[in-house]
Chain A
Amino acid sequence: MTNRPRLNTEGSLIAGLAAVALFAVLAVVFAAVSFPAPAGFADGAAITKSLGAAMFDIAPGQLMDEGQAAVPAEGFLVAFIIIGVLLDAALDGAVMLAKREEKGENVGVGTETTDPDDSALAADGGGQADDVEGGDR
Chain B
Amino acid sequence: MAIPAQSYLLLSAAVFCIGLFGVLTRRNALIFLMSVELMLNAANINFVAFSLQHGNLTGQVFALFGMAIAAAEVAVGIGIILVLYRNFSDVDVTKATTMRW
Contact = CB atoms under 8 A, between A and B. Distances in A.
A39 B53 contact: yes
Interface band, chain A: 35 or more
A66 B57 CA distance: 20
Interface residues of B, number: 44
Interface string A84-109: 00110111011111101000000000
Interface string B43-87: 000000000111111101110110011011101101110110110
A22 interface: yes
B33 interface: no
A89 B69 CA distance: 11
Interface of B: 2, 4-6, 9-10, 13-14, 17-18, 20-21, 24-28, 52-58, 60-62, 64-65, 68-69, 71-73, 75-76, 78-80, 82-83, 85-86, 89
23 contacts: A8-B26, A10-B28, A16-B21, A16-B25, A19-B18, A22-B17, A31-B10, A35-B6, A38-B2, A71-B55, A72-B56, A73-B56, A73-B60, A73-B61, A76-B61, A86-B69, A87-B68, A94-B79, A96-B79, A100-B86, A122-B86, A123-B85, A125-B89
